[in-house]
């Protein structure tokens, strides 16, 4: 009988310890999705990446809830797609029709769909936006 008690107590202790260090994912609202992020990105004032090799762009922010990456830039001249990465915790929230907003980790809107983007930071294989709406 003591063996059964010992096994039950050990299982209960293991279950309680397993949840002790676990963190819950942020709760997403309806039509809200997590954006691809770069966990190494360090932000400075105005949520601009500190290590930024800035480039000029002439592009428009586009998105689709059915796209695996959700949000990208479309070059205003060629229409070519420019992939984006975001700081951890950034999300996109889709509204009516083609409306969408990009939110930071605090849930504040940083840029709205269809915005013209004139500059970004270049990473290894994608761009980070350095344009935010305050």
Is position 101 within any domain?
Answer: yes
Instruction: Determine the pLDDT at residue 100.
Output: 96
Question: Total structural domains in the chain?
Answer: 1
Per residue in 7-26, pLDDT (tens digit) is: 333 233 333 333 343 334 45
- Residue 94 lies in domain: 26-129
Report whether pLDDT(93) > 90.
Answer: yes
User: Within a domain: residue 21?
Assistant: no
Distances (CA, A) of 7 to 2, 4, 10, 13, 97: 9, 5, 5, 10, 56
Residue 94, in any domain of the structure: yes
Q: Is residue 74 part of a domain?
A: yes
Question: Hey, is 64 helix, strand or coil?
Answer: coil
Residue 53 lies in a domain: yes
- The model carries a pTM of 0.68
2: in domain = no
Would 7 be classed as within a structural domain? Answer: no
Dist. CA 33–CA 67, nearest whole Å? 11
């Amino acid at each position: 009988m003591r063996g059964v008690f010992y096994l039950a107590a050990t299982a209960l202790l293991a279950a309680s310890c397993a949840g002790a260090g676990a963190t819950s994912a942020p709760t997403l609202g309806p039509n809200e999705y997590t954006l691809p992020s770069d966990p190494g990105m360090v932000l400075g004032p105005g949520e601009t990446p500190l290590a930024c090799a800035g480039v000029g762009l002439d592009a428009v922010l586009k998105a689709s809830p059915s796209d695996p990456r959700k949000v990208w830039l479309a070059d205003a001249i060629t229409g070519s797609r420019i992939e984006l990465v975001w700081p951890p915790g950034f999300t996109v929230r889709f509204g009516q029709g083609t409306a969408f907003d990009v939110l930071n980790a605090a849930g504040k809107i940083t840029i709205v769909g269809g915005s013209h983007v004139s500059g970004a930071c270049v990473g290894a294989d994608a761009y980070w936006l350095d344009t935010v709406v305050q």
